[in-house]
Chains A and B, each alone.
Chain A
Amino acid sequence: MISIESVSHDIGKTQIFSNLSLCVNKNEKVLILGKSGLGKTSLFRLILGFEQAGSGRILINGLNLDKDHIHQIRQQLFYLSQDIDLKNETILGLVRDIWEFNFAKELCQENLDQQLTFLELSPGILQKKTGELSGGERQRIGLLIGFMLDRPIWLLDEPTSALDDAMKKKIAIHILSLEKTLVIISHDHCWQNSSAVRIERWS
């Protein structure tokens, strides 16, 4: 599903990583562990086409990551960035825009309610603006958008860092049970305890 073949990446004159290879099969769950500064987030940005690798090759679902395939590739990726960089708008407006644009139909209220309940968010949160959310709420709204988009490949960058232990566990178990190809960057133990997870240690 994701195939990274001897990729090197520099930003300016700083080398982020060199000769990196990683293969993630369909529906496999991979957890990347390593100190910060090793370029874990940069790897996600490469896969999303936000930055371009200096050398090597990236294939997503058999498609070469280049300008001809970038839209097809992005259509399969759900990315949860570390800071959940959502524009400061009301949650409902945002979720509705994203849903309606991606699926070209009206927002499915039932689906939305279901996700809110699972994530233990009150429906009132939909009227708030993203700027008013706490870190934990923000993360859960990010995940809510992911659940609703339902794309096949998920790239999660510290998805549970701001949640309490019970919530961390609940969400990790749920996400790992989904039929998705997952790449997770997280220091939370909740992701390491499952046999479904393959751990990649970076040093």
Chain B
Amino acid sequence: MTIAGRTVQPFESKGGPSMGAQDLSIFSLMSLLIFLFPILYISRYLKLGINRDILIGMVRMCLQLSFVGLYLEFLFKFDSPWLNTAYLLLMISIACHSILKSSNLKIGIFFKPLFFSLLIPFGIMLLFFNGAVARIDNLFEAKYLVPVGGMLLGNCLRSIIIGLTHFYSGLKKNEKEYLYSLSLFNNRAQALKPWFKESLVAAINPTLASMATIGLVSLPGMMTGQILGGSIPLVAIKYQIAIMGCIFYTEYFSVILSILFSLKTGFNAFDVLKTDIFQKDRN
């Protein structure tokens, strides 16, 4: 979602040149930091112990976004399909890494299945969006491919983390129940069904909830960005609707695939959950 709020390279509304948002000077950006001081003070006073994390988070956000800003300028200038695709693949790889880290699953063995479970729905949805919905001539145009890809990926990230964590931690916790089902059904898929269903529902629930309230409470970042960038609200809304749909579809399929593709890695030949698939317990 980080890219959603960018105002530098907005989508142009069809029909007319965009007005573009007012550029922000470095000084005016820095002026926002004054609100950080009371926060740091209060956190310290209340001994929340999160000041370090707040500072690290702020610095990381600034650095990462600045880097992306510079990189996107570069990417947009060249606008090479190969470069754009390579950038997306890199984003998927980083997403996989981050998902596995958060789900407490070993990165080395789960990376490959997870990579493909993201790539397939993500690639299909992205090309469909560019080709059939936005109807742009160059399917790999950086201006569309990179921000839209980033939004899809950012949202999938969260839901796959929920899905995989739910599935594998749930199974580990209730291993006896799973094994007992396995003995009664003599079929792994059938025995796993309840956990699979629970995980899928848990993973897509946040998106369902946000779809149900979107526009009532919050204006999504992408829309804000587009409107600031000069799009008329109706165009911005149409893009937002399309994107919400794409996010939901991509999430749904990537959660299913991420569980299905990981099974071969997660279970041994006797259909028993392997014990060495988890990262070292943090607690």
- Which of A's residues lie within 8 Å of B, judged by CB? 48-52, 67, 70-71, 74-75, 77-79, 81, 83-87, 89, 97-98, 101-102, 145, 149
A83 touches B176 (CB 8 A): yes
Given contacts A48-B183, A49-B270, A101-B185, 12 further A-B contacts (CB under 8 A): A51-B272, A70-B269, A70-B271, A79-B183, A85-B177, A85-B180, A86-B177, A87-B181, A98-B185, A101-B187, A102-B186, A145-B184
- Which A residues are CB-close (under 8 A) to B182? 74
A74 and B182 CA atoms in complex are apart in Å by: 9
Contact with A along B33-65 (1 / 0, CB 8 A): 000000000000000000000000000000000
Q: Which residues 152-192 in B have Cβ within 8 Å of A in the complex?
A: 174, 176-177, 179-187, 190
- Which B residues are CB-close (under 8 A) to A78? 183
Given contacts A79-B183, A145-B184, contact A87 B270 (CB under 8 A): no
- Which A residues are CB-close (under 8 A) to B272? 49-51
A102 touches B179 (CB 8 A): no
A87 touches B194 (CB 8 A): yes
Q: Which one, A50, A67, A97, contacts B269 given CB within 8 A?
A: A67
A70 and B186 CA atoms in complex are apart in Å by: 9
Q: How far is the CB of B198 from chain A (nearest CB, A)?
A: 11
A83 and B175 CA atoms in complex are apart in Å by: 13
B179 touches A52 (CB 8 A): no
Q: Which one, A51, A74, A83, A101, contacts B183 given CB within 8 A?
A: A74
Q: How far is the CB of B179 from chain A (nearest CB, A)?
A: 5
Residue of A74, A77, A98 with highest tally of chain B CB at under 10 A: A74
- List the A residue with the shortest CB-CB distance to B270: A49
A98 and B182 CA atoms in complex are apart in Å by: 11
10 A–B contacts from the bound complex (CB under 8 Å): A48-B179, A48-B183, A51-B272, A71-B186, A74-B182, A74-B183, A83-B176, A85-B180, A86-B177, A101-B185
B176 touches A81 (CB 8 A): yes
Given contacts A67-B269, A70-B270, A87-B177, contact A77 B183 (CB under 8 A): yes
- Which B residues are CB-close (under 8 A) to A145? 184
- Which B residues are CB-close (under 8 A) to A52? 270
A149 and B181 CA atoms in complex are apart in Å by: 13
Q: How far is the CB of B233 from chain A (nearest CB, A)?
A: 48
Q: Which one, B177, B186, B194, contacts A74 given CB within 8 A?
A: B186
B180 touches A86 (CB 8 A): yes
- Which B residues are CB-close (under 8 A) to A77? 183
Q: How far is the CB of B268 from chain A (nearest CB, A)?
A: 8
B179 touches A50 (CB 8 A): yes
Q: How far is the CB of A4 from chain B (nearest CB, A)?
A: 17
B176 touches A102 (CB 8 A): no
A48 and B180 CA atoms in complex are apart in Å by: 10
A97 and B190 CA atoms in complex are apart in Å by: 9
- Which B residues are CB-close (under 8 A) to A50? 179, 270, 272
- Which B residues are CB-close (under 8 A) to A87? 174, 177, 181, 194
7 closest Cβ pairs, A-B complex: A67-B269, A85-B180, A85-B176, A49-B270, A74-B186, A79-B183, A85-B177
Q: How far is the CB of B280 from chain A (nearest CB, A)?
A: 16
Residue of B181, B182, B190, B270 with highest tally of chain A CB at under 10 A: B270
A83 and B176 CA atoms in complex are apart in Å by: 9
A75 touches B186 (CB 8 A): yes
- Which B residues are CB-close (under 8 A) to A48? 179, 183
A78 and B180 CA atoms in complex are apart in Å by: 10
- List the B residue with the shortest CB-CB distance to A81: B180
A133 and B176 CA atoms in complex are apart in Å by: 18
- List the A residue with the shortest CB-CB distance to B193: A97
Q: How far is the CB of A41 from chain B (nearest CB, A)?
A: 11
Residue of B179, B186, B272 with highest tally of chain A CB at under 10 A: B186
A97 and B183 CA atoms in complex are apart in Å by: 14
A79 touches B180 (CB 8 A): yes
- Which A residues are CB-close (under 8 A) to B183? 48, 74, 77-79
